[in-house]
Amino acid sequence: MDLLQVSLTDRWGIEWALTRGAPGQPGVYLMGPVGLASPIQVTARATTSQVGVTPVSWKADQMEATWKLGFRADSTPLLEVWSLFLRGVTPLVESTLRVTHPSRGTLTCPIVRTSEDPAPDKSPATPGLPSLTVDIPVTSYQGCWHGETSNYQGASTLGNSGDLPSWPVVQWSGAGASVTAPGIGRVMLPDAGGRTAVLNTDPAMASQVTVDGVDAPDLWRGMRGRLFPLPIEPHSTAKWSFDRCVGRLVSRHSHMWRW
């Protein structure tokens, strides 16, 4: 069994086993590296000493790679495997790439195919053709890999196992919930009534509050301002408190080997 198990769940919910031992349907195999890594760009300014520079900010845009995929008629005709995969892995609807390490857990990222249907050297409809190989470019607009979710309640020490800063989301319902975090102190959350609300504390999301994945502007206004807590830095911990609410933290990783 391979050290890493790589699988891809397409838009229809079909899981493809891209490496040996991975869960999912056979017939499509990754014949090279996954290759998706955060393209981190650092902005710096000159120092007063005229020697060196001082980093002031950074960003990571979309991740891109070109996969070499082998299509093989294992238990299903080659043309059927080819057609099913290309219908499910498309440029517009994201599929979920999953990499599992036996002792470290699972990383995921959404990907799209960033080209029209590839043109192999031989038609997949060729009678008796057992296999073919194509290069397929893919993109992850998420810009990084996500680790597994950790849940917290009450006074908690949040641990970030990733190599990128991370912020938790906060889920609550009803009234009386509050969150306490470095940089903002204790903040009362608005009465959500019978709804289950989710607050994203990442400053990039401007304190977005959603209910069932849809923006809830009334709850956002009830926050009376945006919350900008300090991040949980890479490979470190931070003290938070979740009173009558639940905190959920997902570690973020710039590369599939950095976790």
Considering the domain boundaries, does residue 259 fall inside one?
no
Tell me which residue of 47, 57, 28, 197 sits closest to 120, measured CA to CA.
Answer: 28
Domain stops at, among 143, 165, 200: 143
Closest CA to 190 of 205, 179, 175: 175
CA separation for the pair 246, 172 (Å, rounded): 7
Residue 97 contacts residue 143 (beta carbons within 8 Å): no
Q: Which of 4, 13, 5 is nearest to 96 (CA)?
A: 13
Looking at the predicted structure, is the pLDDT value of residue 50 above 80?
no
Residue 67: left if φ>0, alpha if ψ -120 to 50, beta else—which one? beta
Q: Which domain holds residue 216?
A: 149-253
Type of residue numbered 174? G
Residues 1-7 have a mean pLDDT of 78
| Gap between the Cα atoms of 73 and 77, Å rounded | 5
Number of domains making up the chain: 2
Largest CA distance in the chain: 71
The pLDDT tens digits of the residues spanning 157-175 come to 999 999 999 999 999 999 9
Q: What's the pLDDT at 155?
A: 98
Confidence label for 224 from pLDDT (cuts 50, 70 and 90): confident
What local confidence, expressed as pLDDT, does residue 5 receive?
A: 94
Side-chain-side CA neighbours of residue 142 (13 Å): 22
Higher pLDDT, 259 or 80: 80
Distance CA 228, CA 206 (A): 8
Would the pLDDT of 222 be above 90?
Answer: no
Q: What is the structure's pLDDT at 1?
A: 40
Picking from 67-71, 117-121, 136-140, 147-151, which range would have the lowest pLDDT averaged per residue? 117-121
- The last residue of a domain, from among 78, 111, 143: 143
Q: What is the CATH number of the domain that holds 156?
A: 2.60.120.860
Q: Which helix (H) or strand (E) holds 136?
A: strand 131-140
Percentage above 70 pLDDT, the chain? 98
Q: Please say if the pLDDT value at position 259 is more than 80.
A: no
In this prediction, residues 251-257 reach a mean pLDDT of: 92
195 in a domain, yes or no? yes
Instruction: Please check whether residues 185 and 236 belong to one and the same domain.
Output: yes
Residue 47, Cβ neighbours under 10 Å: how many?
Answer: 10
